[in-house]
Amino acid sequence: MAAPRTAEFVDAHGIAIVYDVYEAAGTARGVVQLLHGVGEHAGRYARTIEVLVEAGFHVYADDHRGHGRTGIRQHGGPAKLGRLGRGGLRAAVDACWQLTEILRAEHPDLPLVLLGHSWGSFLAQILLNRHPEAYDAVVLTGSALRTPTDLNPRPLNARWRGPHAHGLEWLSRDEAIWAAFRDDPLTTEVPLLTLFGPIEAARLYGLPKKDLGRRMPVLLMVGGDDPVGGPRSVHKLADAYRTRSGLTDVTTLVYPDARHELFNELQQDDVRADLVAWLDARLPAQA
């Protein structure tokens, strides 16, 4: 995979948002906008981006407000990584929408897939509610129905707590992922509620919009042992997209024993293969 083009734009509050553009291999059949989770950055999705590029998609992936390279520049160093800053969650959503507008202007004739993981999946749900006309397919991983009873309020590593717990078991069964996350200078383990505060965290709550007015396909992928929402919450989210939003093509894939980060799990190759197969069936490559 060729090196990405790195660029930036300035949001409504003067924060420079850093993003990467990966060009599709061969003739492009679509664009993927990738939204990462809280406390991390787009660089953790390198292999998934590579697979999407090989499958014929341009990929645009930013480091959200307060996160990764954007956060380092915004806060003048790593001490406040993960904190959104002035404008809070609303500004973070608006910045993601700015990137949508940029990539739409650059590729007006290609279908757009919105791919969000964890917090990024919640941002994606909000974007889909506000701008259903902009997206042609949506993929949510590690997601949940955004209600107080369907999002886990407890510490995410609670079920693996013990005297020898690493603290990041909730991410994946692969111990190398725990070490890589902890050693990454662009990540933080501070919980979302601490980073955002209760008022901004509460802005994450919401349901899929009634009657989106479009019939785009949605893929929900979740680990059987994901502590953020898990299969029960994701099945409820799927039902909400069918009954509230009027969507008819909603697919839920549950991966037994997998935890939160499916793209970093032991069966990650199968997860990526399932993603590409789902895209193949709905956005086929040109002959």
pLDDT tens sequence across 239-265: 999 999 999 999 999 999 999 999 999
**Does the pTM of the predicted model rise above 0.75?**
yes
DSSP label of 206: B
pLDDT tens track for 92-118: 999 999 999 999 999 999 999 999 999
pLDDT tens track for 2-45: 899 999 999 999 999 999 999 998 899 999 999 999 999 999 99
In this prediction, residues 143-168 reach a mean pLDDT of: 94
Q: At what angle do helices 88-106 and 119-130 cross, to 10 degrees?
A: 70
* pLDDT more than 70, % of the chain: 99
Contact between 229 and 171 (Cβ < 8 Å): no
Using the Cα atoms of residue 85, residue 87, residue 92 and residue 96 in order, give the sign of their dihedral. negative
Contact between 209 and 132 (Cβ < 8 Å): yes
Contact between 31 and 100 (Cβ < 8 Å): no
The domain spans of the chain are 5-282
Report the amino acid identity of residue 260. Answer: H
* pLDDT more than 90, % of the chain: 94
* 71 has pLDDT over 60: yes
In this prediction, residues 167-190 reach a mean pLDDT of: 97
**CATH homologous superfamily of 5-282:** Alpha/Beta hydrolase fold, catalytic domain (3.40.50.1820)
* 146 has pLDDT over 70: yes
Calculate the average pLDDT of the chain. Answer: 96
Q: At what angle do helices 268-282 and 46-54 cross, to 10 degrees?
A: 40
* 67 has pLDDT over 80: yes
In what order do the strands lie in the sheet containing 137-141? 5-10, 16-22, 57-62, 30-35, 112-117, 137-141, 218-223, 250-255
Tokens of 215: 């019939």
* 287 has pLDDT over 60: no
* 61 has pLDDT over 70: yes
d(Cα 153, Cα 135) in Å, to the nearest integer?
30
The residues with which 252 forms a beta bridge, in sequence order, are 220
* 286 has pLDDT over 80: no
| CA distance readout (Å), 43 to 61, 193, 224 | 9, 23, 25
The residues with which 20 forms a beta bridge, in sequence order, are 6, 61
In this prediction, residues 157-182 reach a mean pLDDT of: 96
Which residues are CB-contacts of 71 (< 8 A; sequence separation ≥ 6)? Answer: 63, 65, 78, 80, 81, 82, 83, 186
Task: Give residue 249's pLDDT.
Answer: 98
